[in-house]
Structure 1
C-alpha cells in the first residue's frame, strides 16, 4: 500500500474546488484497508473516506489521511423465484451499476439513474430520487472497522436509514444503534431486486413524461431513460459545470405548517408523505426567494435549478469552499425569514 503526499483533489470532487490531501491512499481491496489499519505509521491517523467526491464541499486542504475508495466488482449473488440479490464493489460508479443491472434484466434501481457518486457512498447518504430511496432496495453491506480491522456485515436494520441519513453519518449511537461515521469503510453493497416489479411514477416530472408520451405502463428501461432525460435537463453535468448535485434537503413539515405556507404562497410545491408529514420542494422555496442565478464570488445558484449551487470559475479559477458556504448560509437565512423553514445542506463540509 502506497500513501501519496500532497495530492491535488480538484479532479476528485465534483464541485471542482481546488484543495490538497496531505496524504492519500487508494483502496482497491480489503487487503489494502487491513494494511493501513495494521501499519504503525497509519493505524492511529484520523481518516477521511472519499468515494466519487460528489457530496462534499472542500473548505481547505485535508489534514486527515484520505482513503480513496476504488474497490471494483459487480456480480449476481443469488437468484430465486422472488428476485435477484446483486452486489457491487464500493468503488463502482453508481450510475454505471444501475445501467448494468437493467442490461442484465434486473429492474428496480431505474429511478435512481444518473445520481453521481459511487456505490459505497450510496448507503451513507441513503440516496433517493423520483419516489425511490436506496433503503427500499438495500439488502446488506460489507465494511471494515478502521479501528480494529474487524470485518462487518450490516443489514437494513443496522443502518438506521432516514431521509438522506444513515448510521454512517453519526459518530455516536444513532436511533438505538451504533455510530459509524469515519469508523467503517464500506467495501461492498448488496441490493434485493424483486421479480414482481412495480413502476414508481409518483413524482410530477415522471407523470408529465407519461402525459407527453402516452405511455401509461413504461418498462424499467423507459423509466431509466426518462429519469436521465429529466436530470440532464434540470441539473448541470459536473464535468462541465462543477457542482455537488442537490445542495439542500427537501424539508418536511406538519400538515398545519404546510397549510399556513399554502395560505401565503398557493403555488408551493409539496408532497404528502406516508407518515402524515408533508415534504416541501427546497428548490421551489429557494427560487421563490429570488436566488436563481445569483452569485457570491465564483459560486452561484444554477440558473435552471435553484437547488443546485455551482462553480462558475471553472477549472482554471475555481470557486472556494468558503464562497460556496457563504452563499449557502445566505440562502438559508433568506428562506427562513420568508417561510420559517430551516434548510439543511446535503453535502459534507470538509477542511
Structure 2
C-alpha cells in the first residue's frame, strides 16, 4: 500500500534534524507499489530515503522521495550450519542484528547499533569493527525503474569496496532496492581484533553473541552522539585510502599516525580521518550552530537549528584544514542533496 505526502517536512526524517521540505514523498511496501509510482515513467528527480541516517539536505527537495516501509525478516533455509534469510529494505538494521543474536546466528554482531535500514546496507557497504555488509550479503533484490521490472544481483556483481558499491555509481538513479538476502552462521566466529572490542567483551564474560553485541553498543554509545538528542549522521567523512609510499612519508613525520591495510587494494593503505581531523585541531571545535563532536572527530553535529548549508560549509572547512596540514583529501561519506 502506498502512502503519499506532499510539501511535507523532512525534519523528522533525517538524523541531522535539518528543516527542509519534499515536494512529494511516498512510502511503499513492494515492487507492485513501485510499478504504480513509476507508471508514467520516472520523474525528473527521485531518490530513496530510508532512515535518513546518511543524508544531508541542503535545500528543499523538489522531486519524489521513496521510503520503504515493509519490515519482514524471512528465513530461506539452512544447510551445514549456514542460515539464509531475506530482509526487506525497510527493516531497521539494528533490529536485524538483534534478531540474529536472539536466534544464535553469527555474522553481523560487530555491526550492532549502526543506524539506517537494511536496504541502505549494500549501497554504502556499511562496516564497523573489522566487518562489512559485503561479508554476509548473497543477493540484492531490486526494482529497475526504466523497465519497471524486478531483478536480483549477486554479491559478486555488486562491486563492493570500502563504503562503495555499484548502487552508488552505475546503478545510481536506476534501481530501488527492495530486499537483501544474507547468510549467517550457527558456528561461533568472534571477531575481536579491532579497537577496544576484545577488552569490552572479556569484561562481560567472554565471546558470546550477546556479549559482543553489548560490547559494540557500549563502545559506540560512548563515542557517538545520539541523533535523537544531537543531530548528526554518524561518520561524516570516509577514511582516506592512499599509496603505501604516502602513508610511509606521513608516518615518518607523525609516528603515532594510525595506518591500516586497505582491503582488496595492494600497495594502498587506509588512514584514520578522525585522527587527521583531531590533529588538525578540530576535535570539539564549534562554529555557529555546527561543530565537530568532542569524542569522535569523524562526526559533525547540529548544535541546534543549523541548516544543511551551514553543515556543508563547516564540512568544507574541515576538509580544507586537513588538506592544509597533511596534504590529504578526505571525502564525505554522507549523501548530500
TM-score range, shorter chain: over 0.9
Could you tell me how far 1:146 is from its partner in structure 2? 1.6
Which residue does 1:144 correspond to in 2? Answer: 143
Q: TM-score, normalised by structure 1?
A: 0.91
1:46 CA displacement = 2.3
Q: For the Cα contact (< 8 Å) 1:296–1:323, is it kept in 2? A: no
Pairing partner for 1:193 from 184, 208, 230 = 184
User: Within 5 Å, which residues of 2 pair with 1:29-108?
Assistant: 29-38=30-39, 40=40, 43-108=42-107
Counterpart residue number, 2:27: 26
Separation in 2 of the partners of 1:43 and 1:343? 34
Q: CA deviation at 1:255?
A: 2.6
Match of 1:222 in 2: 211
C-alpha displacement of 1:283: 0.5
| Stretches of 4+ aligned residues off by more than 4 angstroms | none
What is the deviation of 1:219?
1.4
By how many angstroms is 1:276 displaced?
A: 4.6
Separation in structure 1 between the aligned mates of residue 188 and residue 35 of structure 2, nearest angstrom: 39
Change (3 A) 1:43 1:336: closer
Q: Distance in 1 between matches of 2:47 and 2:204?
A: 48
| Contact 1:234–1:304 (Cα < 8 Å) also in 2 | yes
Aligned to 2:174: 183
Shift of 1:213: 2.4
Equivalent residue of 1:120, what SS? Answer: helix
Rounded to whole Å, the distance in 2 between the matches of 1:14 and 1:149 is 31
The match for 1:349 is 336
**In 2: Cα distance, 1:141 partner to 1:257 partner:** 36
What residue is the counterpart of 1:292 in the other structure? Answer: 283
Alpha-carbon distance in structure 2 between the residues aligned to 1:166 and 1:148: 22
Deviations 1:175-207 (A, max 9, x none): xxxx11021111111111133332112212214
Displacement after TM superposition at 1:330 (Å) = 0.8
For 2:83 and 2:204, how far apart are their aligned partners in 1? 31
Alpha-carbon distance between aligned partners in 1 of 2:4 and 2:195, rounded to the nearest angstrom: 48
| Structure 2 Cα separation of the partners of residues 65 and 22 of structure 1 | 7
**Quick check: 1:244 aligned with 2:233?**
yes
Indicate the residue corresponding to 1:118 in structure 2: 117
User: Which residue number in structure 2 is paired with residue 176 of structure 1?
Assistant: none
Q: How many residues align?
A: 334
Return the TM-score normalized by structure 2: 0.95
Tell me if 1:333 matches 2:320. yes
Asked if the contact 2:54/2:233 (under 8 Å) is kept, the reply is: yes
State the Cα distance separating 1:45 from its structure 2 match. 4.0
Q: Which runs of 5+ in 2 are unaligned?
A: none
Equivalent residue, structure 1, for 2:244 = 255
Q: CA deviation at 1:28?
A: 1.8
The answer to whether the Cα contact below 8 Å between 1:72 and 1:89 also exists between their aligned partners in 2 is yes
* Paired residues of 2:104 and 2:209 also in contact (CA < 8 A): no
How far is the alpha carbon of 1:214 from its aligned partner? 8.5
Equivalent residues in 2 for 1:6-25 (5 A)? 6-25=7-26
Deviations 1:303-323, CA, capped at 9 Å, x for gaps: 11111000101xxxx211111
Q: 1:86 and 1:223, CA in 2 relative to 1: closer, same or farther beyond 3 A?
A: same
